[in-house]
Amino acid sequence: MPLVVLGIESTAHTFGVGIAREDGKILANINSTYIPIHGGILPREAARHHANVAHKIILKALEKADIRLEEIDGIAVALGPGLGPCLRVGAFIARILALSYDKPLIPVNHAVAHVEIARLTVCARDPLFVYVSGGNTQIVAYSQGRYRVFGETLDIPIGNFFDTLARELGLPQPGTPQIEKLAIKGKNIIDLPYIVKGQDVSYSGLLTAILRKFKEDVCLEDLCLSAMEYAYAMLAEVVERALAHTQKRELVLAGGVARSKRLQEIMQCVAEEHDAIFKVVPDEYAGDNGAMIAWTGVLCLKSGITIQPEESVIRQRWRIDEVDVPWMQ
């Protein structure tokens, strides 16, 4: 019988449960996202949302996969990185399930899960990943036992940049598609700070500069167009260098912001110039989701990576390059 793992995602705004089978089939992917009414995400409110929906989401996933908890081979959970109160909900539920049903508990890193679900769903072997989301902006590739970081944001992640910008401009959330929608109508690129330091990018100065221009009555569509083009151009520069240095032959876009059509276009060009194949994670698996935790749980379980419930502490700042990925060898 092929292994089947149930995975729980609760690192930030989404509570998700996925069920994945060893052969790569995703049997269920049920997610519920907390949308803040005012301002940014409030960790405790999001955690309350997760606790409230957990029971329903788990049952729905089991029903979708047509499987009982007794038949599951392991319980995977994203222990980090993420927001403390949110992580605690997922970890708590996963421990209870593992203990009650006597199943191995599998610790999953949320960032590893984003890239692994991308690798699975686009059938990539050993790509350079551009991992872009609300909480992360990293360029990563496998080397010697781990995913290594070949560039990242020095301050705010790109999705957070767009979400904050949208909020300040009075636009709804999530911000990235809102900015992109207005950008299409923009005509002029205005002068803004372009900040690349070595292999890293920085978005906070760009954000401040745009908000200053907004107060000066610059056309909103032009502002959105410029914000997007600057943010993506900075990323493209470091991705291009990372591709040249790592010599990877595939470029894969992963994470919530991978759904941006303009970013896909730009990364496609970067890949073509370096004779790399370009692929994008499907929309369903771009944002936070339970399936990515379940699938990474399968990979971990096959490599013997499990954790005792009493040791399964959450890790708010758990970096992708701290995680061994023996299945990549």
| Single residue of 10, 29, 31, 133 touching Mg ion by CB under 5 A | 133
The residue sitting closest to ligand ADP, measured at its beta carbon, is 256
Stretch that binds Mg ion, among 125-133, 143-151, 188-196, 197-205 (CB under 5 A): 125-133
252 SS3 class: strand
Q: Binding marks (x or -) toward ligand ADP, 259..288, rule CB under 6 A?
A: xx--------------------------xx
Stretch that binds ligand ADP, among 134-142, 201-209, 221-229, 314-322 (CB under 6 A): 134-142
Q: Which of the listed partners (Mg ion, ligand ADP, none) does 257 bind, with a CB threshold of 5 to 8 Å by partner kind?
A: ligand ADP
Q: Which H or E run contains 260?
A: none
Q: Which of the listed partners (ligand ADP, Mg ion, none) does 162 bind, with a CB threshold of 5 to 8 Å by partner kind?
A: ligand ADP
CB 136 within 8 A of CB 321: no
Q: How far apart are CA 314 and CA 88, in angstroms?
A: 7
Q: How far apart are CA 53 and CA 66, in angstroms?
A: 20
**Closest separation in Å from C-beta 185 to Mg ion:** 29
Residue among 12 and 53 whose Cβ is closer to ligand ADP:
12
CB 223 within 8 A of CB 211: no
CB 138 within 8 A of CB 255: no
CB 277 within 8 A of CB 251: yes
Q: Which of the listed partners (ligand ADP, Mg ion, none) does 10 bind, with a CB threshold of 5 to 8 Å by partner kind?
A: none
Q: Binding to ligand ADP (CB under 6 A): which residues in 170-229? A: 174-177
93 SS3 class: helix
Is 43 a binder of ligand ADP (CB under 6 A)? no
Q: How far apart are CA 249 and CA 243, in angstroms?
A: 8
Stretch that binds ligand ADP, among 58-66, 132-140, 188-196, 313-321 (CB under 6 A): 132-140
Is 256 a binder of ligand ADP (CB under 6 A)? yes
Q: How far apart are CA 178 and CA 325, in angstroms?
A: 36
CB 84 within 8 A of CB 97: no
Is 163 a binder of Mg ion (CB under 5 A)? no
CB 299 within 8 A of CB 21: no
Q: Which residues bind ligand ADP (CB under 6 A)?
A: 12-13, 133-136, 159, 162-163, 174-177, 255-257, 259-260, 287-288
